[in-house]
Each structure stands twice: as C-alpha cells, then as structure tokens.
C-alpha cells in the first residue's frame, strides 16, 4: 500500500512577542525537540515537520496559507507552549483547509518541585494558553481533534497516530477518481446516492465507463501476460485440481487472469483508485470478476459490488488509513446469521469479492458455479480470517447529509469447517451484542455493504468523519438502544 512517510504534518507552536527573546528561544528549542520526537516515533506514520513559532496574525495567516498550498502537508498540529492571544488566530483559522489537531501538551512532564519559579511559570503556560486557543476554535465552530497528554506518552502518540491516518485517508480522496462499470444493481436503494454532493463533500469523482470499453482492454491482454499471472496464482495459492495446468477448468483460470490484467490495465491507465461492477451488466465479459476484484483490492484499489461507489471509495480510504498496520480492510456484506442463544453471530461474505488482505493462511483458489448473472463459473479465492477485534463501516446517504456508521465487532473462528461454502468468509459478534448491535445498525439505515477492518478503530473513523464534516454514529460496547434512538433523533436536528 501507500507509503505514508511521503506525507507530512506541520508542528506549529503559537506564542506572542511579549515574552522577550530568551523565552521565545526556549519555546522554539522545545518545539523542535517535540516535533523531532514525533517525527522519529514509530507510532507516527507520517513525517512531522517543525515550523518556526508564530507570534502575530500575519505569521499565523502565512503558515495556514502555506499549509493549504503544500501538496504533501495533510494537516497541522498546533500547540501553545505559552499564551498566544487567540484573536490573532482568527484570520488564519478562517482560511485553513487542512485538518487541525490541537495537542494540549507541556514540555516538562513533571512539576520541578524544588526549582519551580516564575521563569518556569512564564515559559510553561500551555495549561491556560491552550484554553485560549481552544476557545477561539469552539467560538468559530471548527472541527478539530484535541489530544491531551505529555508528548512522550504512548497514549497521546496513539491518538495522534489515529488522526494522521484519518488525514491521510482524507488527503487520498481529494481529486481521486473512481470508475463504475455498469450502474447500480436494479432497484437497490442503499447503494444509490448523490455523486455530486459526494464530490463536494469528499473530494472524489465517480464516473461511469462502458463495460464494452473495459472488455476491449481485457481482450487486448496477451498470452504471455496471462501465462505469468497464472503462474503467480499457482505460486501464491492452493489451486483446486481442476484449475491446475492440464485440469478440466484450467481455461477458466486463464480467463480469470485475463480479466484481472484487463481491469488493472484500465484502472492504472485512467489513474483510478477504485471501481465498482455489477453482475447485471457484464456484457461481453465471460465471468463475473472474482479473484480479480479480490486481488486488486489487496493491491490497494477500492472495490464494492453492485455499483456501490460509496463503499468502494470507503474501502480505498480505509486501506490508506491502515497502511503499514497488521491486518487488512475489505469490502464486506452481512450475509447470514447464527441465532443460537448461547453464541449469536454474523457470517459475513460476498458472492466472491472479499479482499485477500484479511485472509488467514494461504487462500485456496477455486471455481464454482454462481447462481446469478448468467455467466461462466467464476474463479475466486476462498479463506477464513483471523479472529480478534474488528469493525464494519458504512457510509449512507440520508438525503440531506452523509452518515458514517461504525459497528465494533469481535471476529471469531468458525465453529466447524465450512466445506461446501465456496467463498471467503468472516464470523463476528457485533458489540454490544447481536440483538442491540443489529437493531441499532438497521435503525441507523446502515447498508448491507461495508468496509470490514481488522486494523482500524472507531477513533480513526470518528476523526475521519469530523474532518469531512459529516455525521458519525458509533455502535460499540456502550450502545443502549434507548439512547441510540435519541442520538439519531437529535442528529436530525443537528444536521438540519
Ligand atoms: Mn452485495
């Protein structure tokens, strides 16, 4: 996936001229130390760049203007080591278009009990300087993340980590292109949405491309390219005997490889970050893309089936946010339930297209008939997934706004092997429990399509939603249906 170290956040310290040269020198020294320490921390995935202390409305405006224009700058971390009268910040904050994290920290961890004097007090004022800064952002109704804690504290670093990853996702959406092959699955409601509003709000463009144009690219694939990819399949996966060279269905494996090469060529030529397809519009294609979608997702492309561009884009953004972390992110669908009262759970899967990045062990490459679509049997990767904490995220179009809905879950191993289930799958238990979790999801209008994440937390997605200025709704350990319904009701007013 993406190397997040190509991106940077700027560490900006606020002060004022009243303190004199000596104090301001110390402020700059300390800021440099903190910025360098954040930059060097393995917990922070992006570069942290020190910026000279800002002490006037002009300097503040200039740094915000520079941040807006800097291509690799995905956000600002602001800290008031001393007092920085916040009316100075109005002009800059008004034009700032990048996310802001307010780091409420202090250079000294401990009070130096023996030596503390008024010089120390004069220098270490963030306890009140940051309150002044906080006020102006609240007064201006600006979204930001406030992280409180010492700058060497693992807990503070983890919160900054989540925010930088969310900012990387936001940055990735700016100017991104998503291709739709075919429209929405007929009559389906939740996968529809306002693509114009999405471009205004999210920054990415979704446009349609004729399946025939894709088929043309697929058909230009050479035998040599197909040979190489089929060899890669054989080296990477356990091929079902009929798919092996000389096997009765080997030709279908070659067809699947041809589709994968064709789609990747199309996407890379058009600089797309993801795509959707639909089984109702595959004119000229031999199979529904199965292994192709699975592998392209694991290379970092966003994908969702049935024309669901909102989920395709979300899958991509979450892959960017999770870059370098253990575990993966995949397109997912709530498929079927286990309602045993002692052990209620959801089986998640899709017709075919679950990303290989969440696989446990070596996937098995198989071919089986597909009941819908009327095409030849598609090749797909079949696997189970790792147990552990995970989440499902869904963006829904509420008509007047977008809602990002997250359900924290715990993935579990299947109770038995599933020898006749020919698709990749995940079993999970929703928080706070099956009944409340699923009821809350349905009340919130959450889609059956989601991005399933093994490596992001609700904190990443909450930060992401706040940066986008959209509604965020969490179903987690503390969710109570009575409160939850009220939250949805109140949000109707808040987003009116
Ligand atoms: Mn589906």
Q: Which two tokens stand for residue 211?
A: 């399946």
pLDDT for 327: 97
* 228: Cα within 13 Å, side-chain hemisphere: 6
Strand order in the sheet with 238-239: 238-239, 364-367, 379-382
Confidence of residue 373 (pLDDT cuts 50, 70, 90): confident
212 CA from centroid of ligand 1 (Å): 23
278 CA from centroid of ligand 1 (Å): 9
487 CA from centroid of ligand 1 (Å): 28
| Rounded Cα–Cα distance for residues 49 and 277 (Å) | 41
- Adjacent-strand bridge partners of 349: 333
pLDDT tens digits along 104-118: 999 999 999 999 999
pLDDT for 162: 98
pLDDT for 369: 93
131 CA from centroid of ligand 1 (Å): 48
Confidence of residue 19 (pLDDT cuts 50, 70, 90): confident
- Adjacent-strand bridge partners of 304: 276
424 CA from centroid of ligand 1 (Å): 14
**Exposure of 449 by Cβ count < 10 A (0-12 exposed, 13-18 middle, 19+ buried)?**
buried
pLDDT for 371: 83
| Closest to 348 measured CA to CA, from 450, 418, 458, 278 | 450
In the predicted structure, residue 40 carries a pLDDT above the cut 80: yes
What is the chain's Cα-based Rg?
25
In the predicted structure, residue 92 carries a pLDDT above the cut 90: yes
| Rounded Cα–Cα distance for residues 382 and 178 (Å) | 26
167 CA from centroid of ligand 1 (Å): 29
In the predicted structure, residue 15 carries a pLDDT above the cut 70: yes
305 CA from centroid of ligand 1 (Å): 6
In the predicted structure, residue 160 carries a pLDDT above the cut 80: yes
pLDDT tens digits along 439-492: 999 999 999 999 999 999 999 999 999 999 999 999 999 999 999 999 999 999
449 CA from centroid of ligand 1 (Å): 6
Residue matched to tokens 């699955």: 185
262 CA from centroid of ligand 1 (Å): 23
| Rounded Cα–Cα distance for residues 292 and 276 (Å) | 12
365 CA from centroid of ligand 1 (Å): 21
| Closest to 144 measured CA to CA, from 94, 106, 98, 200 | 98
pLDDT tens digits along 144-154: 999 999 999 99
| Rounded Cα–Cα distance for residues 448 and 349 (Å) | 11
Contact 455, 393 (CB under 8 A): no
pLDDT for 97: 98
181 CA from centroid of ligand 1 (Å): 15
In the predicted structure, residue 202 carries a pLDDT above the cut 80: yes
Q: For 205-232, what is the mean pLDDT?
A: 98
pLDDT tens digits along 287-334: 999 999 999 999 999 999 999 999 999 999 999 999 999 999 999 999
321 CA from centroid of ligand 1 (Å): 24
pLDDT for 458: 98
| Closest to 366 measured CA to CA, from 379, 352, 357, 351 | 379
Confidence of residue 1 (pLDDT cuts 50, 70, 90): low
Confidence of residue 423 (pLDDT cuts 50, 70, 90): very high
309 CA from centroid of ligand 1 (Å): 12
pLDDT for 191: 96
Contacts of 59 (CB under 8 A, 6+ apart): none
| Rounded Cα–Cα distance for residues 251 and 368 (Å) | 14
Percent of the chain with pLDDT over 70: 100
Contact 87, 56 (CB under 8 A): no
Contact 327, 389 (CB under 8 A): no
Contact 291, 237 (CB under 8 A): no
In the predicted structure, residue 374 carries a pLDDT above the cut 80: yes
């Amino acid at each position: 996936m993406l190397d997040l170290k190509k991106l940077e956040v700027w560490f900006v310290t606020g002060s004022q001229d009243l303190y004199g040269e000596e104090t301001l020198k110390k402020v700059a020294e300390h800021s440099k130390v903190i910025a360098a320490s954040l930059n060097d921390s393995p917990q922070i995935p992006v570069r942290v760049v020190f910026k000279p202390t800002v002490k006037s409305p002009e300097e503040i405006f200039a740094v915000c203007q520079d941040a807006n224009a800097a291509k690799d700058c995905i956000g600002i971390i602001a800290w008031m080591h001393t007092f920085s009268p916040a009316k100075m910040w109005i002009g800059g904050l008004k034009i700032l278009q990048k996310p802001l994290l307010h780091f409420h920290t202090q250079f000294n961890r401990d009070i130096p009990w023996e030596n503390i004097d008024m010089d120390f007090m004069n220098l270490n004022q963030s306890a009140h300087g940051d309150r002044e800064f906080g006020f102006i952002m609240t007064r201006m109704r600006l979204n930001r993340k406030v992280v409180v804690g010492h700058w060497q504290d693992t807990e503070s670093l983890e919160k900054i980590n989540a925010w930088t990853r969310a900012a990387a996702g936001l940055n990735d959406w700016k100017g991104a292109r998503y291709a739709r092959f075919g429209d929405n699955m007929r009559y389906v409601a939740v996968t529809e949405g306002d693509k114009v509003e999405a471009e205004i709000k999210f920054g990415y463009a979704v446009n349609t491309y004729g399946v025939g144009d894709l088929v043309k690219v697929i058909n230009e694939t050479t035998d040599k390219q197909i040979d190489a990819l089929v060899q890669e399949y054989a080296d990477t996966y356990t091929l079902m005997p009929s798919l092996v060279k000389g096997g009765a269905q080997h030709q279908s494996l070659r067809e699947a490889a041809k589709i994968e090469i064709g789609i990747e060529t199309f996407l890379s030529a058009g600089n797309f970050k993801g795509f959707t397809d639909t089984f109702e519009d595959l004119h000229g294609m031999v199979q529904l893309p199965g292994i192709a979608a699975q592998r392209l997702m694991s290379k970092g492309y966003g994908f969702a089936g049935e024309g669901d561009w909102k989920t395709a884009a979300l899958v991509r953004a979450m892959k960017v946010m999770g870059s370098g972390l253990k575990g993966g992110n995949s397109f997912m669908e709530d498929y079927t339930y286990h309602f045993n009262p002692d052990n209620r759970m959801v089986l998640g899967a899709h017709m075919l297209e679950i990303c290989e990045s969440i696989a446990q062990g070596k996937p098995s490459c198989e071919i089986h008939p597909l009941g819908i679509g009327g095409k030849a049997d598609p090749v797909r990767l079949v696997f189970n997934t790792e147990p552990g904490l995970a989440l499902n995220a869904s963006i829904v179009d509420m008509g007047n706004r977008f809602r990002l809905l997250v359900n924290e879950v715990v993935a579990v191993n299947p109770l038995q092997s599933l020898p006749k289930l020919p698709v990749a799958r995940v079993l999970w238990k929703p928080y706070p429990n099956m009944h409340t979790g699923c009821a809350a999801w349905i009340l919130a209008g959450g889609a059956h399509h989601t991005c399933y994440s093994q490596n992001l937390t609700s904190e990443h997605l909450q930060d992401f939603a706040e940066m986008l200025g959209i509604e965020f709704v969490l179903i987690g350990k503390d969710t109570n249906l009575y409160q939850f319904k009220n939250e949805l009701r109140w949000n109707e007013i808040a987003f009116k």
